[in-house]
Amino acid sequence: MTVETDGAADAAREKAVDAALSALGLDDKARLLAGRDMWSLPAIPAVGLGPLVMSDGPVGVRGRRWSADDPSVALPSPTALAASWDPELARRAGRLLAQEAHRKGVHVLLAPTVNLQRSPLGGRHFEAYSEDPLLTGAIGAGYVRGVQDGGVGVTVKHFAGNEAETDRFTVDNRIPERALRELYLAPFEAIVAGARPWGVMAAYNSVNGVTMTEHAELIGGVLRGEWGFDGVVVSDWLAARDTAGAIRGGLDLAMPGPRTVYGPALAAAVRAGEVPEELV
């Protein structure tokens, strides 16, 4: 497919989305930005929109049932995949996971994890690729291309600075500009440029004094502004803390539901004059 036909398809989709949104009121639009339950977004039948289902994980599609009678393919850990130094192998793995996602009725995988293995004490290194931002970005881009080749979305995570589990809900990681860009942001930048992911997940932690679900500088300024990311920014589960702060900071989707800082809370904030409706 050529760049020109890609652009035409994008324009057609944007036109269809704009038409659907123009038919929705404030409450329905706010509902679409909040989880219906732990793993899905609500349906809006009036505009032909069905529920969207998300699922972990990086080495297999868990699905929604978490049951022994609904098994999943289990691939080698992402660290082992990265040790192959083979982005095409990662792409093949992604294609397999897309097939699994279709089988389980999943539309978006909550993966890949592209945080760096900066310390041997990192509690989730098994689902990350490596300590090297270049290798991590290359393997991650291959994985994303493979999953999305199969018509399933991804959420590249955890943006940004979530390299350790200790106090990750509350820690404020103070990172100088050069280290932030050359290490911690670099895999995300490479994947946005090389694979055009459908989604990015905002982390629990803060970076330089601002919680990531409200970080307008990194989400709006860097991710969307400098890199041209045009997908969805979703919170890590329960990471969004403040309605006005999150929507002004650039967070598109607050998970899980039904109780989130979006949905009815966002509609109420608009009606109270705390948030302009054009941000919804």
State the burial class of residue 25 (Cβ atoms within 10 Å of its Cβ: 0-12, 13-18, 19+): exposed
Which strands make up the sheet holding 210-211, listed edge to edge?
A: 172-173, 206-207, 210-211
Query: How big, in percent rounded to 5, are the helix, strand and coil portions of the chain?
Result: 45, 10, 45
Torsion angle, CA of 47/53/58/62, rounded to 10 degrees? -160
Rounded CA separation 197/144 (Å): 6
Question: Cα separation of 253 and 265, whole Å?
Answer: 13
Query: Active site residue: 70, 172, 236, 242, which one?
Result: 236
The token duo for 81 is 């995949």
Q: Are 76 and 114 in contact (CB under 8 A)?
A: no
Give yes or no: 236 in active site.
yes
Q: For residue 72, which of 81, 82, 90, 59 has the smallest C-alpha distance?
A: 59
Pairing, β 52-55 against β 40-41: antiparallel
Closest CA to 279 of 15, 16, 33, 20: 33
- Do strands 199-202 and 172-173 pair parallel, antiparallel, or not at all (unpaired)? unpaired
Amino acid identity of 248? R
d(CA 121, CA 249): 31
Annotated catalytic residues are 236
